Every structure is written in structure tokens, then in C-alpha cells.
């Protein structure tokens, strides 16, 4: 799982050399960013399991847990979109 996340967050920059050759440079993401994404994905998984248990045991939907899940998904999506820019 870690390799595709790191690959998705790696920036590629194309630069031209004086002789007309084109060179691509890959800039890997920082370790702190990777750990933040791993933590966020883990929390989404845990909160989804918590919501499922809440539905099974109590039979009602918990909007607070769903709000946190939606916020984390938005955060992860924002990280992936802005890291490539």
C-alpha cells in the first residue's frame, strides 16, 4: 500500500537541457506528509468500522462519526490534488 501512495504523491518535472534533450526530475514527498496520509487513511478505516458497529448494535446512524469521515476524506483528497500542482 505504501508504494502506490508514495508514487501518487511524487512530483515529476520536465526540464530542457541546452542541447534540446528533455530530462524528467522526480521529487519524492516528505516523510511527514506520507505519515500524515497513512494516519488519515487508518483513521478513515477505523471510523468506518466504528460507524458499521454503531449501525449493527444500535440500529441508528451516527451523524457525528459520518461528519468526521467526510472531513478526513476531503483532507486526503486535498492532499493528493495539491501535492501534484
User: Do the domain assignments include residue 41?
Assistant: yes
Q: In the predicted model, is pLDDT for residue 1 greater than 60?
A: no
No. of helices (H) and no. of strands (E), the chain: 3, 2
Q: How far is CA 57 from CA 45, 51, 52, in A?
A: 18, 10, 9
In the chain, the number of structural domains is: 1
User: Do the domain assignments include residue 8?
Assistant: no
User: Do the domain assignments include residue 63?
Assistant: yes
* pLDDT for the residue numbered 32: 93
66 vs 85, higher pLDDT: 66
User: Helix (H, G, I), strand (E, B), or coil: what is residue 21?
Assistant: coil
Cα separation, 30 vs 64, in Å, equals: 32
Summarize pLDDT for 14-65 with one digit per residue, the tens.
Answer: 887 777 778 888 999 999 999 999 999 999 999 999 999 999 999 999 999 9
User: Do the domain assignments include residue 85?
Assistant: yes
Burial class of residue 61 in the structure, from the number of CB atoms within 10 Å of its CB (0-12 exposed, 13-18 middle, 19+ buried) = exposed
Q: What is the pTM of this model?
A: 0.78
User: Do the domain assignments include residue 55?
Assistant: yes
Q: What range defines the domain where residue 66 resides?
A: 30-85
* pLDDT for the residue numbered 2: 65
Amino acid at each position: 500500500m505504501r508504494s502506490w501512495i508514495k508514487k501518487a504523491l511524487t512530483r515529476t518535472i520536465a526540464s530542457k537541457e541546452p542541447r534540446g534533450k528533455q530530462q524528467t526530475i522526480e521529487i519524492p514527498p516528505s516523510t511527514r506528509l506520507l505519515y500524515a496520509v497513512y494516519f488519515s487513511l487508518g483513521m478513515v478505516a477505523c471510523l468506518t468500522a466504528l460507524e458499521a458497529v454503531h449501525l449493527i448494535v444500535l440500529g441508528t446512524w451516527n451523524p457525528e462519526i459520518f461528519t468526521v469521515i467526510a472531513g478526513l476524506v476531503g483532507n486526503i483528497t486535498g492532499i493528493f490534488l495539491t501535492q501534484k500542482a
